[in-house]
Amino acid sequence: MELEQIRAIIEMMKENDLSEFSMESNGLKIRIKRGPEGVQQTIVAPAPVAATVVAAAPVAAAAPASAPAPVAPAAPAVEGKFISSPMVGTFYRSPSPDAPPYVEVGAVVDEETVVCIIEAMKVMNEIKAECKGVIAEVLAENAKPVEFGQKLFSVRPK
């Protein structure tokens, strides 16, 4: 995982007021936690091997220099928060083609509500809202590719 990708994750966490982020891809696990004063602890490790701790202070200082926010200028100007893609993959609104979507516009969500699935490398990853509110808009198209950090849903705080 590149340092720029870690910076983008931290910036996404700040933008969405997330306190924890974890991801597993290609046998690599990453887990980032923000502490009470906004201190980040980043752990990057191969899945079967012990974790390596990477100091987050330089990353936090360099975050303003990175520019992940302007990547999606087409996103609507909806007041509230966004649920963003934690990985590159294919976005699915429902668990199967004949099942109803996990959430619709107007659905009330909390931190543990599953809102979609992103398929990456033939693995179906359930994506949780990680915030409280009401789904204001679906920003991604079903069964289409999404990029890391791409906004999937806008959430109006409740």
pTM of the prediction? Answer: 0.51
pLDDT, residue 79, reads 61
Q: Mean pLDDT across the stretch 79-96?
A: 91
Predicted confidence band of residue 102 (pLDDT cuts 50, 70, 90): very high
User: Which residue would you say has higher pLDDT here, 157 or 7?
Assistant: 157
Has residue 30 got a pLDDT over 50?
yes
For the chain, the DSSP string reads --HHHHHHHHHHHHHTT-SEEEEEETTEEEEEEE-TTS-EEEEEEETTS--EEE--HHHHHHGGGS--GGG-TTS---SSEEEE-SSSEEEESSSSTTSPPS--TT-EE-TT-EEEEEEETTEEEEEE--S-EEEEEE-S-TTEEE-TT-EEEEEE--
Predicted confidence band of residue 66 (pLDDT cuts 50, 70, 90): very low
Q: What is the mean pLDDT of the chain?
A: 76
Q: Mean pLDDT across the stretch 34-55?
A: 49
The CATH code belonging to domain 80-156 is 2.40.50.100
pLDDT digits (tens, 9 = 90+) for 107-142: 999 999 999 999 999 899 999 999 999 999 999 999
**Per-domain residue ranges for the chain?**
3-66, 80-156
